Amino acid sequence: MSFSLYIAEIVGVSSDDNTRLQLRVLPQLEGIAKEYLPVWPFFFAHQAITGKTGELVWCIANTELSMGYVLGFVNDYSWNGDYSESSIPQTLLEKLNDIHVELRGKLFSYSDIIVTFWNKTSVHFVDRATGAHISAFTSGTVSITRPDEIIMAVGSKSMINMNADEVVISADKIRLSGEVRLGKNPQGKILVTQGVLGSNGLPADSVWA
């Protein structure tokens, strides 16, 4: 049995209990009624895209089109060599550099990465040298997991910075919900007061120190 690559249009998207896509292979299945079009799974197990009707995907299938798999979305192709529309905008990378400089004082390295997703406002990539995973948005929201640290920031204002020695939480307001224990061996509930003079202290409901 021989297999070939095909471009297909999505005509039916995934449902809750069926992650396959219904496809119209082009041009082989043009003019065929939808109910007779094939429904194919994804090539790699444990991977799926839901897609949208009308989008184009790459498929691998036998010559009879009776068996096939979906590989992924079709990228744009330009006959004149201009790939600016299908390439990561330089302005996006510069914006993400500005965010990282504010957080860590240095630029991102884009020299040896695998980009898993990008659009006009975000990019997700893996740094091959360290294995770090970075998801960054032009809004200033960033998630970075490196071998020696985890950084999460929203709008470059609220931030959690975690390494082996400490956890730093920064924000205009920090709220802890639930039973809170301060220190390694809290002895009792802390006292809280209703006024500025510190009189008439009462034990807190859920904070221990």
| pLDDT value of residue 187 | 86
Give the whole-angstrom CA distance, residue 102 versus residue 65. 53
Asked if the model's pLDDT at residue 156 lies above 80, the reply is: no
- Mean pLDDT calculated for residue range 87-102: 87
pLDDT at 195 over 90: no
Residue 197 has pLDDT above 80, yes or no: no
Q: State pLDDT tens for residues 51-72.
A: 899 999 999 999 999 999 999 9
Q: Which is higher by pLDDT, 74 or 77?
A: 74
In a domain, 86, yes or no: no
What is the number of structural domains in the chain?
A: 3
Q: Are strands 133-137 and 142-146 parallel, antiparallel or unpaired?
A: antiparallel
Residues 115 and 155 in one domain: yes
Question: Do residue 162 and residue 194 come from a single domain?
Answer: no
User: The domain spanning residue 69 has which CATH number?
Assistant: 2.40.50.260
Which residue would you say has higher pLDDT here, 185 or 43? 43
pLDDT band of residue 23 (cuts 50, 70, 90) is: very high
The whole domain housing 15 covers: 3-73
Of the candidates 12, 42, 73, which is a domain's last residue? 73
Residue at 186 is within a domain = yes
Under the banding of pLDDT at 50, 70 and 90, the label for residue 137 is very high
CA dihedral 178, 183, 186, 189 (to 10 degrees): -50
pLDDT, tens digit, for every residue of 104-117?
888 888 889 999 99
The answer to the question of residue 78 being in a domain is no
Kindly state whether residue 203 falls inside one of the protein's structural domains. yes
Q: What is the structure's pLDDT at 170?
A: 92
Residues 59 and 116 reside in one and the same domain: no
% of the chain surpassing 90 pLDDT = 54
**Is the domain of 108 the same as that of 152?**
yes
From the CA atom positions of the chain, what is the Rg in Å?
A: 26
State whether 185 and 149 are in the same domain: no
| Strands 202-208 and 180-181, bridge-based pairing | parallel
The mean predicted confidence, pLDDT, of the chain is: 89
- Shared domain for 64 and 102, answered yes or no, is no
Q: pLDDT tier at 96 (50, 70, 90 boundaries)?
A: confident
Q: Which residue has the higher pLDDT, 123 or 203?
A: 123
Q: Are residues 119 and 146 in the same domain?
A: yes
Considering the domain architecture, whether residues 202 and 153 belong to the same structural domain is answered as no
What pLDDT does 198 receive? Answer: 63
pLDDT at 200 over 80: no
Residues 188 and 166 reside in one and the same domain: no
Cα(152)–Cα(141) distance, integer angstroms = 8
87's torsion region: left (phi>0), alpha (psi -120 to 50) or beta? beta
Shared-domain flag, residues 187 and 121: no
Is the residue at 42 inside a domain?
A: yes
Q: Is the dihedral of CA 179, 183, 185, 190 positive or negative?
A: negative
**Residue 81 domain-assigned?**
no
